[in-house]
Each structure stands twice: as structure tokens, then as C-alpha cells.
Chain A
């Protein structure tokens, strides 16, 4: 579904991604983890072709660089880390923006576009607030609204950049369960950058650990979420545990202060 090879992104002299390669299979959820500034957002933006890159990215077997914006937007729905939410726009108008790639250049949306949006809005339980302005929504509701816009795009690939960073733990789990539910229903391929390592392990099929512009580990959850892999990049206080239910949890542990001997 998505593959990239020798992918390099530079910001001026800084190399943000250094010749990385990887692939994501159809219907798979890939969790991209890594410390701050590792290159997670850069990888997602490059796949969405929102910044200049060197190397090759293929989406659904097509070279991404050869596609028009409209073609690409029909294949990839991208949810940025901090979406720009016009406070006066209503929920239904915002979700309708997701149909942009399906509407002719100077045309307006059709009844079919409205049907798609209405279905997404009711699936995500936003029906009662469809006419509310975004300014009047809570953080958790906005998360659903943004996801609704991405689903209205009807693209087979969903890129989520830290989709839950602004939410409390309960809302985070709800949001990720929702993503999991819709991706199963619609057989979506999901690539998400995600900070919370425990949630990353619980929801993603496979993890990719990026550090300093390189992919340092990739594979099934249990293979990546290991003490020796994580401590090297997140610091010595990170510890991996297996709970009594068999879930992998990554916890923080305060280390004893090293005292200088007298």
C-alpha cells in the first residue's frame, strides 16, 4: 500500500530523515514512535507530500511525486498534529471540506457528497452537534470532528500525526478505539505517529521506532517494545512490563539519584 525507499528530508542543513526505507501493508496499522524531534512528523508529512523530499514514495503502487494533489488526496487522508480549526465554521461544513478532492475544481458539492458526510457524522455520533461552530466543541469532540473530515475523504490510507496528544487518557483510548473500528470496517491502512508507547503497543499492528532521522527498529510490537531498545532512545527511566492481562505497558521509573561519595 505504502512504501518508501531512500527517503531523505532536509530542513536547510539539518537532515530530518536520512535515507529511510519501509513499507506498510494493506489494512495494517503502523505506529511510528520515537523521541521528540526524531522525524515522526516529517515522515508523515513526506508521505502526504507536504514537504520536499528526495527518494521514492509509492502509494497504492503509484509514485506519489507523479500524482496530482487531487489524486493523492483521494488516496491519503492526513490529520495533522494541530489542525487549524476555523472557530466560526460549523461541524457539517468542516466535515464537508473532506470532500474537496471529489468535487470538480470550480464546482460545488453534490447530494452524494452531503450523504457521505451525513453518514460519517452520524457514525461518529456528531449528528446532534452538526450545526454547532467548532469554537463550541470540547477537545474530545474536536478530535472526532477532525477524524470525520478525514473519513469523508474516503481515502484508503489514513495518516494520523499524534491524534490524541491533547486528550486525557480515557478520551485517548476512545479516540484510538474509534480509529480501530473504522479502519476495520473500511479496511483502511493507518499510519500514526504516537507518543504514548503503551497505547502504541496496544493499537498498532506493527511499530517503527525512529530516532535522529533513522529507523532504528521496526517490527511486531513485542519486538520493538523492549527495555534495551527503548532505554537507548527514551532514557534509562523507561521500563517495559507485561500486565496480568498480557498487555505490554511502558512505564516511567524514577531512578535513584546518584550521590557523590564523601
Chain B
């Protein structure tokens, strides 16, 4: 039976039971319209109207999404405007306009156009995609595993990607194989973790709730194992150490449009799937047992979220390496400033993560120009103090779950 069929089928035996509230007032017996009853009926009508069908949080979510989007647009403009070639803001905007379908006919030096369109914009766009995936994946994992320390690499994705990339580098294969190998390593590691963890944690015949704890522990074990392999390989081929190390530190310096187009489908599918689960992530805030009693098939939701997050995060890792802190700091900063509901948290984290990574990249490529600081260093250097500031500010006493 598919879900939609279930949806259409009334609960067996439920016939005759009021499955929907009657449209007449069900709380006042017929012919007993007392003064209080009339007052309460009036009050109820009034309440019914003021507590409108719109969720009270919906306007708030909208405002937060708009605010985050404004920040993202500014971050993108900053990212495109700043670089070693000293273009003024008007020059950058003119160069940007040349590729728009309705652009004004102005003459822009081809070099400016190339700098903006072939060097800066792909890098900024890749930052947007990678940042949104890391932050969105982190937020989703924090919800699904009900663990504030969860980050997108929790189930072994980082270790698997690192091993995949190291194998390509040390085997002397074509470097173009690094992204697919990292992607395959990340997906494979998470799949291994999930198979081991979900099997151990499975309940009895009646389909009881299985624990997330065993999946998390399996993730720790798989990550340790794969990291051991990777370290071993790396030590056996010390001549490639610097390259492997640079890859693991991560960065956006090699970004091209083909990278952007390569990961865009994964990111789009992953983001859409994660956003579609945001209401269910809110239900999970009351714990797995109560979510189950409310009608949520917890193992299925968990699998769907993990698959979605893994696809997007693995694609991001494949083109940018292992960029830390974004997946844990951005969702918590959003949670502490805007609130813990996943309906708001998930979209705002994605947009905020994108803006954060773009700005971190601007810092990474300007503070020591023409040299670049690894972006992971910047995300930690900006992110950790900012996070601590938010943590110690007004909402710090509330829970982080």
C-alpha cells in the first residue's frame, strides 16, 4: 500500500467516530445555551479567527528567510567585487551586466568580463552551493540524531572522502578523478555506517523504535577505520603528502563553472529533499518514541534525511575538500538568534551557510594576497569567536537541541 493510498483510506473501525470536528459547535450541548456558553462560543469564534489558519511562525520564517537572502546577496556582491585585480564596483557591475539577457549596450573591457565571469563568479557560486550544503546538512543531522554536536561529516563522510582522494593522489591516477573518488568514498562510508548501525540498533519483530545511538557509534568506528587506512597510504607515499594535505584542508581556489554545474544537481535535489522534511524534523524534537506514537515512521525519515544530506555533502566535499565548522556553527548561530524550529532553521541555515562561506572565502584570498589562507582556518577563526559570542548572549541558557 502506498502512502497516498493510506492517506485516502479511513482508519479501519474508525467509522462512526468523529474523525473531523463537526462544523457546528461540538462543545456545547443542544438546547443548553447558557450565558457562559454564549460567551465562550463568542470567545471561541473570536479566537478561531485570530488564531488564523496560518501558523504563527510562518511570518517569522518568511522574514528570517528574506533577511538571510539579503545578507547572501550582499555576500555574493562582495565576493565578486573583491579580488587582486582592482576593479571598481561600477566596473564589476557593468561586467556582470554583460551576460544578462537584457543588458544595456555598454562597452566593457573583455578582461574585466573574464575576471568577473570566469574567475570570481564561479568561485562565489561554488561557495554558495558548498556552504548551503554543509550548513543544511549539519542542521538536518542535528535534528535527526537529536545531537547538538552533529555535523555533516558525522557518519564518516569526511574520512571516506579523504580516503578516496588519497587513493587517487598516491596511485598517480589522473587528478581529474579526485572529485568522483572523494564522492564515492564519502557515500560509501556513510552507507557502511548506516548498514552496520541500523542493523545493530534494530528492534524486535513488532517493529519497535531503533536507536540512533548505534548509528552514531558505527560512524565513529567507520571514520576511525577509514582515517587509519588513509593515514597509512599517505605515510607510504610521503612525496604526495603536501597535495593530500592541501586537499584535506579544503578550499575553493580551483573553482570553475564545470565544478558548479557538476554539483548543482546533487545540491538541488539534496536541498529540496531536506527542506521537504523540515516539518518532520520538528516532530522529532519530542523524541523518537513520541514521534513514533504521533505516526512518524522514524527509521524511514532518518534514512531519507541521511541519503539526502549525504548526496549533497559528498558532492560539496568532492569539489572543495573538507571545510570544517560551517556545518556546526551556522545552524547553531541561526538557532540561537532566530529560534529552533526546523521550518525556519533549515532554509535559513542553508542561505546563511552560503553567505558565510562566500565571505570566509573573500577573507581567505585577501588577507595574505596573493597567497591564500586555507578557508578552513578562516571558517574556524571567524566562526568560533562569533559562535562563542552568540552562545554567551541572550539565548544561551536555552537548550540547543
A residues near B (Cβ < 8 Å) are: 48-54, 59-62, 65, 68-78, 80, 83-90, 92-93, 96-98, 100-101, 103-112, 114-116, 118-119, 121-123, 127, 130-131, 135, 153-154, 156, 185-187
Contacts and interface: CB of A to CB of B under 8 A. Distances in A.
A128 to B, nearest CB: 9
Interface residues of B, number: 60
Given A71-B6, A97-B283, A104-B3, A153 B47 contact: no
B172 interface: no
17 contacts: A65-B205, A65-B206, A68-B1, A68-B297, A71-B11, A71-B12, A75-B13, A84-B285, A84-B287, A88-B340, A89-B341, A90-B57, A97-B282, A97-B286, A107-B279, A109-B55, A110-B53
Nearest to B19: A154
Nearest to B276: A106
B31 interface: no
A157 to B, nearest CB: 10
B392 interface: no
A195 to B, nearest CB: 21
B48 A115 contact: yes
Nearest to A108: B279
A28 to B, nearest CB: 14
A76 B208 CA distance: 16
Contacts of A109: 55, 279
Nearest to A156: B17
A88 B399 contact: yes
Q: When A and B form their complex, which 9 residue pairs have the shortest distance between CB atoms, in order from nearest?
A: A52-B204, A60-B13, A73-B295, A101-B295, A111-B53, A78-B293, A84-B287, A100-B294, A106-B276
Contacts of A108: 279
Interface in B5-34: 6-7, 9, 11-14, 17-21, 26-27
Contact of A103 (B6, B13, B279, B399): B279
A76 B290 CA distance: 12
B53 to A, nearest CB: 3
A52 B208 contact: yes
A115 to B, nearest CB: 7
A98 B291 CA distance: 10
A86 B297 CA distance: 20
B18 A154 contact: yes
A135 B399 CA distance: 10
A62 B279 contact: no
Given A70-B6, A88-B399, A114-B52, A153 B294 contact: yes
Nearest to A88: B340
B294 A97 contact: yes
Given A74-B11, A80-B293, 19 more contacts: A48-B293, A52-B206, A53-B206, A60-B11, A60-B14, A65-B205, A68-B297, A75-B11, A86-B340, A86-B399, A88-B341, A88-B398, A97-B294, A100-B295, A118-B48, A121-B51, A127-B47, A154-B19, A187-B17
Contacts of B295: 69-70, 72-74, 100-101
B20 A90 contact: no
Nearest to B44: A122
Nearest to A54: B205
Nearest to B401: A86
Interface of B: 1, 3-4, 6-7, 9, 11-14, 17-21, 26-27, 40, 43-44, 47-48, 51-57, 203-209, 276-277, 279-280, 282-283, 285-287, 289-297, 339-341, 398-399, 401
A51 B209 CA distance: 7
Given A74-B14, A97-B294, A156-B14, A127 B206 contact: no
A54 to B, nearest CB: 8
A75 B14 contact: yes
Contact of B292 (A69, A111, A123, A130): A69
Contact of B3 (A73, A74, A96, A105): A105
A73 B12 CA distance: 12
Contacts of A100: 283, 291, 294-296
Contacts of A71: 6, 9, 11-12
A108 B238 CA distance: 54
Contacts of A78: 290, 293
B347 to A, nearest CB: 13
A51 B47 CA distance: 39
B136 to A, nearest CB: 16
Given A49-B208, A122-B47, A127-B51, A185 B27 contact: yes
B46 to A, nearest CB: 9
A87 B339 CA distance: 11
A50 B1 CA distance: 22
B57 A93 contact: yes
Contacts of B55: 92-93, 96, 109, 114
B296 A93 contact: no
Contacts of B12: 60-62, 71
B341 A93 contact: yes
A116 B21 contact: yes
A127 B43 contact: yes
A51 B206 contact: yes
B56 A49 contact: no
Contacts of B203: 51-52
A86 B281 CA distance: 13
A14 to B, nearest CB: 14
